[in-house]
Amino acid sequence: MAAALTLSLAGRTALITGAATGIGRAIALAFAQAGASLVVNHLGLSEQADVLVQEIHNLGGQAWALEADVSQSADVTWLAAQVQQTCGGLDVLVNNAGILQEKRFLDTTEADWDRMLGVDLKSVFLTCRAFLPGMVARQQGVIINIASDLGILGRAQLVPYCAAKAGVIGLTRSLAREFAPAIRVNAIAPGPVSTAMLSPTSMSVESIQKELDIPQQRFAVPEEIAATALFLASDLSRFYCGQVLGPNGGSVMP
Amino acid sequence: MRLTRALLPLMRPGASIINQSSIWGKTGVPDFSAYVASKHAVIGLTRSLAFELGARGIRVNAVCPGWIRTDAAMRSLVSMAQQQGRSEQAVECDLLARQALPGMLTPSDLAGIFLFLASADAAALTGQAIVVSNGEVMS
């Protein structure tokens, strides 16, 4: 066995999509503390992204904020070019950007479906397609896709979200097989997490209450999901391939 | 999704929706990532709808067939053989070797599960994704 396996990400560059707030922000900070250089992607949240970049600088790390709508092909192409130019290559891609809209299925419009599938699933296709050629050329790379326990369980009034997140799991398993052994692709399917997505601004109080009906009877804090992401980004997980890890308080026990 | 939404108002308690997924809705394979993502998504949609329509007495399930001797599946087999630079027979032999039961499924092998899921005998089944694959995938 070569060098000891550690959680260190020293010398690695990581891109987190949707990193200005919530789980993405916690992952960015955890990776920075582990020594990675960070590209903080966001959409329309420059102020929060700049604060995060400053926090990473204060930790002694390197970080750049790049605004791009990852559901749009042209934006992702631009993002990949910027990352190449600024960092010279990408070691870790975390597909975290996501949206959720609670709506009864019969009220769900085609535009609702397209928007949610665009941000929650197509974006993963677009970023993987943009960054995998560089990873293949360097014969190394890690991709972490943020799915959801609801992609496994299903939930009423969240049909497009659950379909998209189940799709992320299928995409993860296929890419893992297609790009192994050089590139590792895994997913995280978190249970309920205290973020803006799980607040009364985007979900009804009844639905939020329902989310507490899990063995641990509480929401995770974003840092608890970031810990799993750090593990999957590090060499400690180098035999993990196409897996769906579930920091979920017991909501899913496969 | 469009068809389900259009027909739902016509459905009565006891109605059954059956969505066609695939064993690739349960596992992944190289070179078919978009297809695999879509078949996983069908299962996510099935499970959410099962919750949402349960109170109306409408059941929603998915069927996940393995390799079936159809024109479309044979085209996939030909493309896999070309990508791997091997004969179609060799690729087929590999696929069948993963099954517990011998032989490739035919379309009529699927009829039974659809009949069962549509019937009142399946009254307690909803949100399920049932694999029919001669034992290729067990989960």
Q: How far apart are CA B43 and CA A107, in angstroms?
A: 20
Are B28 and A174 within 8 A, CB to CB? yes
Other C-beta atoms closer than 10 Å to the C-beta of A102 total 15
SS3 for chain B, per residue? Answer: CHHHHHHHHHCCCCCEEEEECCHHHCCCCCCCHHHHHHHHHHHHHHHHHHHHHHCCCCEEEEEEECCECCHHHHHHHHHHHHHHCCCHHHHHHHHHHCCCCCCCECCHHHHHHHHHHHCHHHCCCCCCEEEECCCCCCC
Residue among B133, B135, B139, B134 nearest B66 (CA): B133
Residues A232-238, mean pLDDT to the nearest whole number: 96
First-to-last alpha carbon distance for chain A, in angstroms, is 32
Q: How much is the pLDDT for B39?
A: 97
Check whether A4 has a pLDDT greater than 80: no
Q: Do A155 and B46 touch (CB under 8 A)?
A: no
Lowest-pLDDT range, A106-120, A214-228, B2-16? B2-16
pLDDT at site A1: 46
Alpha carbon distance A162, A199 (integer Å): 18
Residues 57-86 of B with CB under 8 A from A: none
CB contact under 8 A, B48 and A154: yes
Q: In residues, how long is chain A?
A: 254
Query: Whole-model pTM?
Result: 0.89
pLDDT at B120: 92
Residues in chain B with CB shorter than 8 Å from the CB of A175 are 28, 33
Task: Give chain B positions within 8 Å (CB) of A164.
Answer: 41, 44
List, as ranges, residues 163-182 from A with C-beta within 8 Å of B: 163-178
B34 touches chain A (CB under 8 A): yes
What does the pLDDT read at residue B139? 78
* Contacts B126 to A, Cβ<8 Å: none
- CB-CB: which of A156, A169, A170 is closest to B51? A156
pLDDT score for A3: 65
Residues of chain B neighbouring A173 (CB-CB closer than 8 A): 27-28, 36, 40
Among all chains, which residue has been given the structure tokens 């809705």?
B25
How far CA A213 is from CA of A28, A196, A206, A219, B20, in Å, comes to 29, 19, 11, 10, 31
Q: Which two tokens stand for residue A180?
A: 């192994």
Q: Does A106 touch chain B (CB under 8 A)?
A: yes
> Which tokens go with B129?
């994704």
Ranges of chain B with pLDDT below 70 = none
Q: pLDDT at position A206, please?
A: 87
Handedness of CA B35, B37, B43, B49 (dihedral sign): negative
Comparing C-alpha atoms, which of A10, A64, A70, A67 is closest to residue A39? A64
What are the residue numbers of the active site of A?
161
Burial B53-72 (b: 16+ CB within 10 A, else e): beeeebbbbbbbbbbbeeee
Cite the active site residues of B.
35
Q: Which residue of B has its CA nearest to A254?
A: B139
pLDDT tier for residue A169 given thresholds of 50, 70 and 90: very high
Q: Do B45 and A242 touch (CB under 8 A)?
A: no
Cβ-nearest to B44 among A110, A162, A174:
A162
Contact A76/B at CB under 8 A: no
Record the tokens describing residue B61, joined without a space: 């399930």
List of chain A residues whose C-beta atoms are within 8 Å of the C-beta of residue B43: 166
Q: Test B8 with A162 for CB contact under 8 angstroms.
A: no
Q: Which of B28, B43, B53 minimises the CB distance to A173?
A: B28
- The mean pLDDT value for A134-160 works out to 97
The confidence score (pLDDT) of residue A199 equals 85
Comparing CA positions, the residue from B66, B72, B65 lying closest to residue B113 is B65
Tell me, letter by letter, the H, E, C secondary structure of chain A.
CCCCCCCCCCCCEEEECCCCCHHHHHHHHHHHHCCCEEEEEECCCHHHHHHHHHHHHHCCCCEEEEECCCCCHHHHHHHHHHHHHHHCCCCEEEECCCCCCCCCHHHCCHHHHHHHHHHHHHHHHHHHHHHHHHHHHHCCEEEEEECCCHHHHCCCCCHHHHHHHHHHHHHHHHHHHHHCCCEEEEEECCCCECCHHHCCCCCCHHHHHHHCCCCCCCCECHHHHHHHHHHHHCHHHCCCCCCEECCCCCCCCC
Phi, psi (deg, nearest 5) at residue A192: -65, 135
| ipTM associated with this complex | 0.74
| B25 neighbourhood in chain A, CB within 8 Å | 170
Nearest chain B residue to A150 by CA: give it: B44
Dig out the tokens for B117 from the structure: 């899921």
Q: What percent of chain A has pLDDT over 90?
A: 90
Find the CB nearest B52 among A105, A164, A166: A105
So what's the pLDDT on residue A95? 98
